[in-house]
Amino acid sequence: MIFRFVCSECGQEYEPGSFIWRCAVCGGLLDLADFPVCFPLNEIGKRAATLWRYREALPFDEAYEGWQGVTMGEGLTPLVPLSRDRANVALKIEYLMPTLSFKDRGAAVLIAKAQELGVRSVVADSSGNAGTAVAAYAARAGITCDIYVPGSTSPKKIKQIAAHGASVHAIEGTREDTAQAALEAVEQGTSYYASHIYNPFFYQGTKTYAFEIWEQLGGRAPDVLVLPVGNGTLVLGPYYGFKELLRAGMIEKMPRFLAVQAEGCAPLAQAFERGGDVAVPVVNTGTEAEGIAIAAPARSRQILAAIRDTRGGIITVPDTAIEDARLALAAQGFYVEPTAAVAYAGFQACLDLANTNSHEDEKLTSLVQEVVDRSKQIVIPLCGAGLKAA
Ligand SMILES: *Cc1c(COP(=O)(O)O)cnc(C)c1O
Ligand SMILES: [Zn+2]
């Protein structure tokens, strides 16, 4: 078996089909062990415009074709210039996915993998979009699905999940209480944990964000990726993706990652500023950006290491800036939910920071300069559709 889970702490290996979600020896997070990937350029260009065009870089047995019954055509989302004035800044329109958020990347790959492994039922917890995506693909794959969401989740997202036939469990309390309820269901039951946080296959889906950008830019990496970060699925996935492209000799250098958090819930930004290796859990003091309001990100060590490895940085934006960014995007024709305006708000914050030049941190200053430099290629995702918000 070339696809193995490996403990990020002690190196213990596991069969991915086992219903284990963290290391049985030490409790560490599981990763997918490196496996050989390849990019058959002549083939990729001829295939349908979905993320499955990179299937030799996805963790499936060569003979497995079940994904064809699971896919809804997700991926290869448009990459469009922000404006004529800022043509070097490209927006990746992730809200044009089948369930209206980028989480379809992870969910399509994870659920197809669950199907290949013979899984009959899954459990997931989410602040909304991941739950919607997992519910939709599970329905398509004929897999029973239970989704745990915080009671405060947008009613529209809850309806969307229920419409796919999933059992919705709305949990009062914090996002962490919801995660706990899902874990209890996994431990007591016989379901596979289709977690976008713990399950390594989800990141195998989100890594295709990197492959698409590389292809859409004519076979090169951008200079800077601006990304929202909560649990890190759109940081770690693209990080793995660009690393694979680098190892395969398809790009010459890694793009720098500028991650953005909402000021009201920013444990990663605080750890980054402190120079810490892990995030210290915070109390969420409130933000409209419900999709990234993660007070205790489980993969914080990996996220911080990945961002530092790209010579990147993490900044925060207040809710007023998120709302301004949402309106500014709408004024350009793009209607997104508040969480999906965070990355663009981060870009706008860089424009301000570059003017005031007030940052003491040298590395962050150089990153900000790069983001506002019109000769650099910047990519910003619009992750979720505006009509999802209450
Ligand atoms: C999930 C999500 C994010 C951030 O993803 P994390 O994995 O929590 O970092 C950003 N925007 C939207 C719209 C999302 O649904
Ligand atoms: Zn371990």
Reported as a single tens digit per residue, the pLDDT across 288-326 is 998 899 999 999 999 999 999 999 999 999 999 999 999
Q: Assign residue 75 a region: left if phi > 0, alpha if psi is -120 to 50, beta otherwise?
A: left
Sheet-wide strand order for 167-171: 167-171, 144-150, 121-125, 192-193
Tell me which residue of 260, 280, 286, 284 sits closest to 340, measured CA to CA. Answer: 260
Report the alpha-carbon distance of residue 388 to residue 330 in Å, rounded: 15
Report the alpha-carbon distance of residue 96 to residue 388 in Å, rounded: 12
Using a pLDDT cut of 70, give the percent of the chain over it: 98
Q: What mean pLDDT comes out for the span 139-153?
A: 95
Q: Which two tokens stand for residue 174?
A: 């914090």
CB of 122 shorter than 6 A to ligand 1: no
Q: What mean pLDDT comes out for the span 202-216?
A: 98
CA of 26 to the centre of ligand 2 (A): 4
Q: Which ligand is nearest to the CA of 261?
A: 1
Q: In DSSP terms, which residues pair with 149 in a beta bridge?
A: 170
CB of 231 shorter than 6 A to ligand 1: yes
Q: Which ligand is nearest to the CA of 10?
A: 2
- Helix, strand, coil proportions of the chain in percent (round to 5)? 45, 15, 40
Q: What is the pLDDT of residue 1?
A: 58
CA of 11 to the centre of ligand 2 (A): 6
CA of 228 to the centre of ligand 1 (A): 7
Q: What digits encode the pLDDT tens for the residues 65-91?
A: 999 999 999 999 999 999 999 999 999
CB of 232 shorter than 6 A to ligand 1: yes
| Helix (H) or strand (E) segment spanning residue 244 | helix 233-247
CB of 300 shorter than 6 A to ligand 1: no
Q: What is the pLDDT of residue 376?
A: 98
Residue 358: pLDDT band with limits 50, 70, 90: low
Three-class secondary structure of residue 352 per DSSP: helix
Which ligand 1 atom minimizes the distance to the CA of 128?
Answer: 15
Which ligand 1 atom minimizes the distance to the CA of 129?
Answer: 15
CA of 275 to the centre of ligand 1 (A): 24
Residues 6+ apart with CB under 8 A from 247: none
CA of 14 to the centre of ligand 2 (A): 10
Q: What digits encode the pLDDT tens for the residues 257-283?
A: 999 999 999 999 999 999 999 999 999
Mean pLDDT for the chain overall: 95
Q: Which ligand is nearest to the CA of 30?
A: 2
Residue 362: pLDDT band with limits 50, 70, 90: confident
